[in-house]
Structure 1
Amino acid sequence: MSTSFTPLFPGMLLDAAARFAQDNETTKDFAGTDPVREMGWTCTLVPEEAGGVGGTLSDLASIVVGLATHGVHLPVIETCAVAPLLLQAANADTSARWLEAVCEGSAKIAPLTSLSASLDEVALTAKQLDIGYALTGEVKGVDVSLAATHHLVPALLQGSGETALFLVDHEHMPAPGATYRTMEGRRSADFRLDGLTVPAVACIARGAAVDSAIGQADNAALLLTAADTVAALATLIEQTVKHLQERRQFGVALASFQVLRHRTADMYVRYLCAKGLLMHAFQEHERGAADLRRTLRLMKVALAETARLCAEGAIQMHGGMGVSEEVLATRMAQRLLASEFRYGDRMAHASRLLYSPTEAAAADAAACGMSHVARSSS
């Protein structure tokens, strides 16, 4: 029983990320450190004229895959993709200034967005005042794995209904209402803003520019989450095959049982299909396909089903060891199950595919208990 897994995004970035992840495979909390910025990964998507690397989403995917292969959790997607892409909604001078600060390390910017919702589901509202704006609402499940000096906060402007983007100092933010660990072990928190007053200069962009930036950031988040899923799936299968070859029952290796061989083969075929979907989606993104959003939604639905089936199968084939977090395969299974709910679960994306934009927005709002304002970018 053997399998073959070629690197999804080979190169030096993948090798560096994999080495870092291997050295920190047992690290559960990076509090007090900032490996994402120390490794220079925050500069990956930043244009060269702003002091960055000018890399592509495939370059950032190499880092995501390297970490996922060894089960390390770091907010690379949020810090290195979502934040820089949202910043580009601001005017050229403002965007360049803050992107340079990000690359220099003088600013640590993180999005104040939910891990479990699409970025276009804006949870906050902003009321314009004489002295600035008042932000109100609740954002649940924000990644707080690493310290931040500033937060990018999307909000809907009362009256006009436009989407605005605010850059808020961390010192001005209220303390989170609750902090906890997610299924896969990420540190998260819920933030409630009750009329948080920010100066007018905190609004760095509004209108179509923000909507466009949110759409690009959401696409990037879906793609990179898919890369994480496929990489974790490969490791899960490798660990499962290794377990079946080493574990013995009735005097023979578990790998000799035909039913287990068939189940592993099914997992491997599903992995190959998932890999094909991922690479196709990246190609569609690179060529700027008009129906990219539909492709990403279909990929999300398909990968979520594959991830859940493979995760459950691996846990069953590991037996009692499958519920121990000391086992890498178990941590991979947790990662795969959690990935289904990152940036919208499969049911939310399926609803966007099945209904018109107006109907999908209403369905999303009902599913979220009216806690989000759904804005379809289909």
Structure 2
Amino acid sequence: MDIELTVDQELLRNSVQRFLKDEYGFDDRAKIVAGEDGWSRAVWAKFADLGLLAAPFAEEHGGLGNGPLTTMIVMQEFGRSLVVEPYFETVVLAGGLIEALGTDGQRQELLAEIAAGEATWALAWAEPGSRYNLNKVSVSADRRGDDYVLSGTKAAVICAPWADRLIVSARTSGRDGDRDGVSLFIVDSRAAGLHMQGYRTIDGRRAAEITLKDVRVPASNLLGREGQGSAALENCRDRAIGGLCAEAIGAMTELNAATLDYSKTRKQFGVTLGSFQVLQHRMVDMFIALQESVSLMQHLTLTLASNDADVTKLASGAKTKVGYAARFIGEQAIQLHGGMGMSDELKVGHYFKRIGAIDIQFGDPAFHLMRFARAA
């Protein structure tokens, strides 16, 4: 499968490629990750200037439309350059939920802020012991007059230390594990009673454990209908998997290219590594794994764009296949680079770390393999 991009989409891809090549090289990224903030506000502002922060939204919200296809283009290029800025969390996750569920006022105000680069977001859905279950929500949200009061704990909230606002899932009715009764709230990251314990993740980003203790949220900050947040999160997970698979494809593409180049220059026993037939076979296997993953990722993207009813099953299949293929390619790349593959000075180790993080976001391959099997 090969998606034929429109002229506008080709221009978008070319502009992203050109910017990342000129201003987001491997050494530039290393300096950003090693910095105190761990991300670059200057780069974020340039993303806004390029229109990337609005690109997946509908045209009436300042975007290019065709959200899944636009997301695929951007995330694939970001995967090739290991971009750490919270594009996925802010634009794909939070922006997607706001566009799907928000009132006209929320869309107009909040999407404009995202597009202009004025606000960063994170999605707080996971809890200790939830094991990828979107309905396992013990954070409570009690209605008190014109406010909701939130209490509980969220775990492994990616990019939360960078976020100005959070979208938090909380239970307004029912019991822990029930599909009904989960609601979504917009919460200021500096709200009274909200405590955030940040830490570095294996791929050089930041995450946080979040504790909410009687955090008051105006009723106007409810996103969507009360008690119907699970369906929205399920749709969000499908879109998220599409974006993550595209990012993984970008990383896998660079791993294959780096390994092929290394095999042409590194000599062993007086000849290049690429001359050994057994290593040629391994690199062919890496190429095949990548092409199979690309085809499935593109199929998922087109299915998301068409709002097909079977998208959830396909998303789980893609997360499984791409996850296993990415790990295989990463392991082969590191081994074929020898000891250098384990060093921070070489790119392949950083790609492998990012692949490992993608693997467990919104469910690891084993989790999604079981979901796919149950849906069969």
TM-score in terms of structure 1 length: 0.83
Separation (CA, whole Å) in 2 of partners of 1:75 and 1:197: 26
Residue in 2 that maps onto 1:214? 233
How far apart are the structure 2 equivalents of 1:132 and 1:159? 19
1:202 counterpart = 2:221? yes
**Which of 269, 276, 284 is 2:288 aligned to?**
269
CA deviation after TM superposition for structure 1 residue 86, in Å: 1.2
Q: Could you tell me which runs of 5 or more consecutive residues in structure 2 were left unpaired when the two chains were aligned.
A: none
2:123 to 111, 121, 125: 111
Whether the 8 Å contact between 2:202 and 2:357 is mirrored in structure 1 is: yes
Please give the secondary structure, in 2, of the residue aligned with 1:142: strand
Secondary structure of 1:260 counterpart: helix
Task: Give the Cα separation in 2 of the matches to 1:100 and 1:260.
Answer: 51
Aligned position for 1:3 = none
Alpha-carbon distance, 1:345 to partner: 0.9
Q: Does structure 1 conserve the Cα–Cα contact (< 8 Å) formed by 2:167 and 2:187?
A: yes
Contact 1:301 1:350 in 2 (8 A): yes
- Paired position in structure 1 for 2:341: 322
Q: 1:97 aligns with which of 109, 123, 133?
A: 109
Of 51-60 and 266-275, the range deviating more from structure 2? 51-60
Q: How far off its partner does 1:16 sit? A: 2.2
Matches within 5 A, 1:23-102: 23-25=23-25, 26=27, 27=29, 28=33, 29-33=38-42, 34-35=44-45, 36-87=47-98, 88-102=100-114
C-alpha RMSD of matched pairs (Å): 2.8
In 1: Cα distance, 2:58 partner to 2:236 partner: 15
Aligned to 1:351: 370
Letter in 2 for 1:141: A
Q: Work out whether 1:127 is the aligned partner of 2:142.
A: yes
CA distance in 1, matches of 2:195, 2:248: 29
Residues of 1 paired with 2:4 and 2:248: CA distance? 12
Q: Distance in 1 between matches of 2:138 and 2:258?
A: 40
Q: Note the 1:11-30 alignment, pairs <5 A.
A: 11-22=10-21, 23-25=23-25, 26=27, 27=29, 28=33, 29-30=38-39
Q: CA deviation at 1:265?
A: 0.8
| More divergent stretch after superposition (37-46 vs 262-271) | 37-46
What SS does the corresponding residue of 2:224 show, helix, strand or coil? strand
Distance in 2 between residues matched to 1:182 and 1:262, nearest whole Å: 34
Q: Which amino acid aligns with 1:102?
A: I
Q: What's the CA shift for 1:124?
A: 2.7
Offset, 1:105 = 4.4
The equivalent of 1:364 in structure 2 is: none
CA distance in 1, matches of 2:104, 2:230: 17
Q: Measure the CA separation in 1 of the matches of 2:276 and 2:193.
A: 57
2:173·2:227 contact (CA, 8 Å) conserved in 1? no
Higher mean displacement: 96-105 or 269-278: 96-105
SS state at 2:166 partner: strand
Give the drift of 1:126.
1.4
Contact 2:170 2:184 in 1 (8 A): yes
Query: Helix, strand or coil for the counterpart of 1:138?
Result: strand
1:164-206 CA-partner distances (Å, limit 9, x unpaired): 1211222206565432222211111111112322233322332
Cα distance 1:138–1:318, how it changes in 2: closer, same or farther (>3 A)?
same
The structure-2 alpha-carbon separation of the partners of 1:37 and 1:163, relative to structure 1 and needing over 3 Å to count, comes to: farther
With normalisation by structure 2, the TM-score equals: 0.84
In the superposition, relative to structure 1, how do residues 7 and 49 fare at CA in structure 2: closer, same or farther (>3 Å)?
closer
AA partner of residue 13 (structure 1): L
Q: Say which of 357, 369, 376 aligns to 1:338.
A: 357
Contact 1:127/1:133 (<8 A) preserved: yes
> Who is 1:365 aligned against?
none
Mark the CA change 1:174 to 1:259 in structure 2 (over 3 Å): closer, same or farther.
farther
| Match of residue 169 from structure 1 | 188
What is the identity percentage for the equivalent residue pairs of Structure 1 and Structure 2? Answer: 26
Residue correspondence of structure 1 range 180-191 to structure 2 within 5 A = 180-191=199-210
Greater relative contact order, per chain length (Cα 8 Å cut-off, separation 6+): 1
Give the ranges of 4+ consecutive aligned residues of structure 1 lying more than 6 Å apart after TM superposition: 6-10
- For residue 284 of structure 1, what is the aligned residue in structure 2? 303
Aligned-residue offset at 1:117: 4.1
| SS of aligned partner of 1:111 | strand
**1:305 alignment partner in structure 2:** 324
Asked whether the 8 Å contact 1:311–1:337 carries over to 2, the reply is no
Q: Is the 8 A contact 2:161 2:196 kept in 1?
A: no
Task: Say how many residue pairs are matched.
Answer: 352
Distance 1:306 1:146 in 2: 31
Residue number in structure 1 paired with 2:253: 234
Give 1:240 shift.
0.4
In 2, the alpha carbon distance for the partners of 1:222 and 1:123 equals 24
In structure 2, C-alpha distance between the alignment counterparts of 1:106 and 1:185, rounded to whole Å:
23
Deviation at 1:103, TM superposition (A): 2.8
